[in-house]
Amino acid sequence: MSTVTARRVAVPSAARAKFAKNWTSRIVAFGEFIDGYDLLVIGAAMLFLRPYFGLTTGQVGVVSAAAFVGTAVGLLVFGDLSDRFGRRVIFMINLVFFVVASIGAAFAGGFWQLVVVRFVLGLAVGMDIPTSHAFLAEISPRSRRGRIAGSLPNMMWLSGAIVSVVLALLLGPVFGNETWRWLFGLAAIPAAMVLVARQFLPESPRWLLAQGRDDEARRVFEMLDLEPPTAQVVKQRRSYRDLLAGKAWRRLLAVTAFFAIQAFGGAVATVAGPLVLDSTGIGRSNSLYFSLAGFVIGLIAVTAGATIIDRVNRRTLGIWTCLGVFVAGIGIATLGAHSTVWLVVCFIAYSLLTWFGPGVLSWVWSAEAFPTALRGLGSGIAQAATRLAIAANVVLVPTLLADLGLATIGLYACAFLIAAGIVLASPFLATTGRELEGATTP
């Protein structure tokens, strides 16, 4: 008897089936709200942490980067484990770590405690990202994969970032330099709520198919009101060599490089945004308001981009938006120091175009590039390189701003020229309208 027929298949209750159909994609993507809140809150929290502990410029960079390095480790390790043991188990366990680490960060008593607890918190985030990323791609119809696997998690991520800045603005006048403790600790609340909600979600149906558990997969497809893949899916043998075999290495290299390079350049408008704006002398409160405006514009851009990402050629969208970000960055570097108006206009354009194009496309492409049996690992590799790139950004930005001022942004903007070149040289990134199984092959 085969393993498929031998396994007892549980029949979900009508209430659970209705809940899963209506909320699965949102609850899975809500992990990005937590990620966006926590990894972006460091930019706002650092404005309070620096005077509280008397941190040096180098220590600011290390604390800021600790969570990103932890996330990179979590991405590599747990992306692979999600391919082995399933998406569902990993994206519930990680939130337990997240809740504990958030509370620990709120009670940190010094520089090294901050570094350690932020690293652990990043590790928890790294457990969630490739798992939820793969899950979203695996439950997305081809006609809406860009919106569900790309736009939705970015909307959640930006919403988390917006909440972090709003809380910094509201709590700052009340708690002063102690505000950072509240900003870190409050992250435990949405994490605990998502942890409870995820108990009611099913396993990824495509992961079940890849394990040969066809009956379970069929029930999940029915529960989520999804059409199964038209191509026959057989139980897949996992081999790390498949990431590099034939032309697969080109996909891995192109997707990873694009994701990391655009994130390296884009982080000056997100994670490092408050520090960049504060360096102009506009003041801590104003820098937070400008950062908030940038995130709101980014959310508007992602929402607008969601209406076209499944309708236009994704390569064309990627090339032109990357070039637009480059122009906006040069505007910040050359005009921002002389005119607050131009600084604000170019900074908002930088943020808007980053999120309208490369910020969302990198998520979609890194989910589409790999087969189900290796999707968590492949996505984890791309995301790990990205987090290391962002970590390098936040380590370098304080020093470069001190030495070069806003000319620093011109250097980072050049990353988008390279990103545009990668897209131009990668015809296989034209994946609009292709079924997920077909998008993983040239």
Nearest to 269, CA basis, from 394, 153, 126: 394
Written as six digits, the tokens of 99 are 């809740």
The secondary structure of residue 233, as a DSSP letter, is -
The burial class, CB within 10 Å (0-12 / 13-18 / 19+), for 232 is exposed
Count other C-beta atoms under 10 Å from residue 412's C-beta.
26
Helices 248-266, 375-404: axis angle to 10 degrees equals: 30
Amino acid at the residue 399: T
Q: Quick one: how many helices (H) and strands (E) in the chain?
A: 20, 0
Q: Using one digit for the tens of pLDDT, what is the confidence trace for 322-352?
A: 999 999 999 988 887 788 788 888 888 888 8
Distances 35 to 156, 161, 202, 280 between C-alpha atoms, Å: 9, 9, 22, 28
Q: How far apart are CA 284 and CA 269, in angstroms?
A: 16
The pLDDT of residue 186 is 92
Q: Using one digit for the tens of pLDDT, what is the confidence trace for 112-144?
A: 999 999 999 889 988 998 999 899 999 988 888
The pLDDT of residue 234 is 57
The pLDDT of residue 339 is 83
Count other C-beta atoms under 10 Å from residue 364's C-beta.
30
Contact 27, 95 (CB under 8 A): no
The pLDDT of residue 136 is 93
The pLDDT of residue 434 is 78
So where are the chain's domains?
10-439
How does DSSP assign 120-161, residue by residue? HHHHHHHHHHHHHHHHHHHT--GGGHIIIIIIHHHHHHHHHH
Q: How far apart are CA 349 and CA 352, in angstroms?
A: 5
The pLDDT of residue 103 is 92
Q: How far apart are CA 262 and CA 72, in angstroms?
A: 16
pTM: 0.83
Mean pLDDT of successive 10-residue stretches along the chain, which has 442 residues? 46 74 90 84 79 84 82 88 90 88 90 91 90 90 89 92 86 87 91 90 91 90 85 65 80 92 82 65 64 83 91 92 94 83 85 90 88 87 86 78 80 91 89 74 56
Return the CATH class of domain 10-439.
Answer: mainly alpha
Written as six digits, the tokens of 387 are 């987090």
